[in-house]
Amino acid sequence: MSLRTVSRKFAAAAIIAALTCLTAAAQTSPEAFLGHKVGADRKLADYGRIRAYFEKLDAESPKLQLLTIGESTLGKPMIMAVITSEANMGRLDRFREITRRLKDPRTLSPEEAAKLAGEGKAILLITCSLHASEIAASQMSMEFAYDLVSGKTPFDANKVLEDVIVLLVPTSNPDGHQMECEWYAKNLGTKYEGGNMPWIYHPYAGHDNNRDWFMFNLSESKAITKVLYHEWLPQIHMDEHQMGSDDARLFVPPFMNPPVPNVQPLVWRGVNLCGVNMAYDLQKNGFRGVVHGRSFTGWWIGACDDTGWLHNTLSLLSEAASVNLATPIYVEPTEISKEYAEKRMEFPDPWPGGWWRLRDIVDYELTLSMSLVRTASLYKEDLLLNFYRMNKDSIEAVDKGQPYAFVIPAAQNDLPTALKMIGILMYGGVEVRRAAADFVAGGRLYPAGSFVVLMAQPYKPYAWALLEKQKYPDLRQFPGGPPIPPYDNAGWTLPLQMGVTCDEVETPFEVRLEKLDKAPSAVVPDGQGLGAYVALSSKANAAYTAAFALLKDKAEVFRTKAAVKVKGADLPAGSFVVKGTPEVKKALPGLLAKLGLTAVDLEDVADISMAAIKNPRIGLYRSWWSNMDEGWTRYVFDDLGVPYVTLRNADFKAPKKGKLDLKAKYDVIVFPSENIDIIKTGKIDPASPWARWFTPNPPEYSGGIEKEGIEALKTFVEEGGILVTLNEACGLAFKDFEVPAMNALEKLDRTKFFCPTSILKLKVDPAAPIGYGLPEETAAVFSDSVAMATWIPTSTEWDRRVVASFAEEGVLLSGWLLGEDAIARKAAVVDTRHKKGHIILIGVAAQMRAQSHGTYKFLLNALLYPEDI
């Protein structure tokens, strides 16, 4: 139901509610509906049951209204319950308008803001079970909603729901939730009960669905972001998760160091206030083992609960100790680590060990969720007014080190990608403006049409943190000792990841700016794509999409062997040239318009040295472990229109009759980043620190590509196949093939080299087929990556070409790097040739989380390798 129909429905509902309140119709409890207590051992409500229960409450209670806020990746409706008093329910549009007005102090005086804060209602958003195996909150949500609408609360619900509008998303990941429920049911009563699924719990992202919250690749992130920063603007947002089983029972904020520096201090104070109230309410009700200030830092932007900090929202995270999905566990007291066995100021009541059940998690989460409702009610006016104050400060106060603006010049290496980035910024609530005339900023001349992100805007902290280069503080275990790793990325700078030029400008400048009201699209000239030949620059990722689409339709496509200037246009090496057949002329203009591409029409190509490419048969390996990088690679392929088939372990075994011939079926085989023991054997080295997190898989999901697969891959390469190893999977090439390259970082401990996910500077050879279309200097994401030493091959059967190497100095662009000397000048991407084929080693995270668009081309070039180079 759309928001508009909701409010119309409630104009009528208010009258009906007034008539029916005397009869106080009873609401069905979740226990009565499900036939078991919420969180009972080994009982789970799947997504269909949860939805059905909320629909029932929607029909039974005037205090709950169920909305559809979007669709999951696999097309399930995403639901959100609005819970508030009957009187408020009839005026939701007004309350949403109030928060929208409080967001923009440029059009609201402090006096008006105070008045609106008096009239408005605090909005609290609770999102559950984004990580689908952290399933308790999704179950809890039903009881929480029921308790609120039926008044079974530790406070006067009638009074509190007059002040507060609760928004409740029972699961932020319906597809994953359904997968987990089905997997659990299938293995119930077997030795695999409660074990991990052999695939990721989201069609593309798995656990990384909590790394997408500034990029919005996933439809689930899009739906909730719309609620957060466009439609409802909650002042408090809580995202409920689970963590490991043995230590604290629950984490609630305050968060631990370090903070993202751009966040307003009042956000942290408000987060701490909510956190302390939760811990207080839990303690007074006898809940033991609650910790704050450990494990979860204030330095991160990609998680659901974290981007809120940068939008002046009190954004919180809870992490409860896990059970085996719905199966209880027993924790021996001696299994609890010392730091969680001893009393500390941030952990005053250690949990002694014992049985731990799904219902325990539900109880902790119910209590903390109720506590938040109470806090929202106690501080209702304050929360609304402080939201206004923080937005006002964002605009008026100039923070230390704050730039005046960021400028995204109109001229870009890859314009469609730059425009895409602007759309992504706007989806996150950033105001972007376009210059109506040429202007000078920071001593540089920018043409009209360049984009400007002024820092004086309500969501300044977000825009700033996303566009600037991060400098992660040098935190050590002791002075001069090993580093304390960040929670996730140390750096994430979006323009660097996407290969977009974006300049930070410190001093104010004058120019007439127009605020964009929708994401910009490229202006594509009419009548292009009709020449005898049509050339597309290899600089744009979208040109590769066009090439794949044309190849699929059997067009003749070539790649230029060197940079060439034609009709005034500079075409870098590897640019695409398409023969203008009648079919091409029919399809190409529409394709170019859709992709925002500008083409060069050519009469003849006699002077251009070109090599043909064919529609490649691509295989993408997928193990029986939940490999997120495989999911993201698949996402990138789907997003860019790359054709592929998924290869399973069975595809690396000879059929019952006949022999295994990979070259007969595939031209390119891609191994996403993954531990090579898992690729080869399906088992992790028992000595690995991660080994204890791996539960055994049922036999049909066991094994790896095995020796037979490795041998088949060797033959595949020898016969002309292209094997691509991404990031960690490069280990496969180092260990099992005789590539003239090795990982120079392999034996270095953290005191010698340390680079948690950060962005580093690469020197690229754009004349090399794998470097086509890239600028000579680019930024690449380093994340558990490799830096290679190569050598002169000892056999003529091998050759190597270093496509990209880490810069000589100034390697770190954003994040944290210790031991620059260990990585400077080492190879990052190497094209090795073996007999008739190639092994392409892409040692950086070239397509990580579908964020690093700036380095997609390393992978895309490997897929569209010209035949006779």
Residue ranges in contact with Zn ion by CB under 5 A: 131, 134, 241
Beta bridge partners of residue 789, listed in sequence order: 742
Distance CA 533, CA 547 (A): 13
Considering the complex, what minimum distance in angstroms separates the CB of residue 186 from Zn ion? 23
Do the beta carbons of residue 314 and residue 383 sit within 8 Å? yes
Considering the complex, what minimum distance in angstroms separates the CB of residue 484 from Zn ion? 21
Q: Which is nearer to Zn ion, 202 or 241 (CB)?
A: 241
Q: Which is nearer to Zn ion, 103 or 131 (CB)?
A: 131
Q: Which is nearer to Zn ion, 241 or 561 (CB)?
A: 241
My answer on whether omega of the bond before 775 falls inside 30° of 0, hence cis, is no
Considering the complex, what minimum distance in angstroms separates the CB of residue 90 from Zn ion? 36
Considering the complex, what minimum distance in angstroms separates the CB of residue 135 from Zn ion? 11
Instruction: For residue 251, give the amino acid letter.
Output: F
Distance CA 322, CA 195 (A): 12
610-613 sheet: strands from edge to edge:
600-602, 533-536, 576-579, 557-560, 610-613
- DSSP states of 400-450: TT--SEEEE-S--SSHHHHHHHHHHHHHTT---EEESS-EEETTEEE-TT-
Considering the complex, what minimum distance in angstroms separates the CB of residue 344 from Zn ion? 24
Nearest to 305 by CA among 406, 205, 172, 414: 172
Considering the complex, what minimum distance in angstroms separates the CB of residue 244 from Zn ion? 11
Considering the complex, what minimum distance in angstroms separates the CB of residue 317 from Zn ion? 8
Q: Which is nearer to Zn ion, 56 or 131 (CB)?
A: 131
- DSSP states of 157-168: HHHHHHHEEEEE
Considering the complex, what minimum distance in angstroms separates the CB of residue 764 from Zn ion? 36
Considering the complex, what minimum distance in angstroms separates the CB of residue 337 from Zn ion? 20
Distance CA 863, CA 722 (A): 8
Q: Which is nearer to Zn ion, 201 or 533 (CB)?
A: 201
Q: Which is nearer to Zn ion, 91 or 241 (CB)?
A: 241
Which single residue is written with the structure tokens 């990608």? 417
Q: Which is nearer to Zn ion, 134 or 147 (CB)?
A: 134
Sign, CA dihedral 685-673-813-421, equals negative
Q: Which is nearer to Zn ion, 315 or 450 (CB)?
A: 315
Q: Which is nearer to Zn ion, 323 or 669 (CB)?
A: 323
Q: Which is nearer to Zn ion, 124 or 132 (CB)?
A: 132
Considering the complex, what minimum distance in angstroms separates the CB of residue 857 from Zn ion? 33
Letter string b/e over residues 80-109, b meaning 16 or more CB atoms within 10 A of that residue's CB? bbbbbbbebbbbbeebbebbebbbebeebe
- DSSP states of 218-234: SHHHHHHHHIIIII---
Considering the complex, what minimum distance in angstroms separates the CB of residue 311 from Zn ion? 21
My answer on whether omega of the bond before 254 falls inside 30° of 0, hence cis, is yes
Distance CA 728, CA 740 (A): 17
Considering the complex, what minimum distance in angstroms separates the CB of residue 292 from Zn ion? 17
Distance CA 170, CA 130 (A): 9
Q: Which is nearer to Zn ion, 319 or 393 (CB)?
A: 319
Nearest to 811 by CA among 797, 825, 827, 832: 825
Q: Which is nearer to Zn ion, 51 or 131 (CB)?
A: 131
Considering the complex, what minimum distance in angstroms separates the CB of residue 241 from Zn ion? 3
Considering the complex, what minimum distance in angstroms separates the CB of residue 592 from Zn ion? 42
Q: Which is nearer to Zn ion, 218 or 505 (CB)?
A: 218
Helices 136-150 and 358-378 pack at an angle, to 10 degrees, of 50
Do the beta carbons of residue 69 and residue 79 sit within 8 Å? yes
Q: Which is nearer to Zn ion, 134 or 651 (CB)?
A: 134
Considering the complex, what minimum distance in angstroms separates the CB of residue 172 from Zn ion? 10
Distance of CA 434 to the CA centre of its chain: 28
Sign, CA dihedral 137-142-146-148, equals positive
The encoded tokens of residue 818 equal 């210790």
CA dihedral 201, 207, 208, 210 (to 10 degrees): 110
Letter string b/e over residues 161-175, b meaning 16 or more CB atoms within 10 A of that residue's CB? bbbbbbbbbbbbbbb
> How do 451-454 and 405-408 pair as beta strands?
antiparallel
Q: How many CB atoms lie within 10 A of CB 655?
A: 10
- DSSP states of 33-97: HHSS-TT-TT----HHHHHHHHHHHHHH-TTEEEEEEEE-TTSPEEEEEEE--HHHHTTHHHHHH
Q: Which is nearer to Zn ion, 295 or 528 (CB)?
A: 295
Which single residue is written with the structure tokens 């979007």? 70
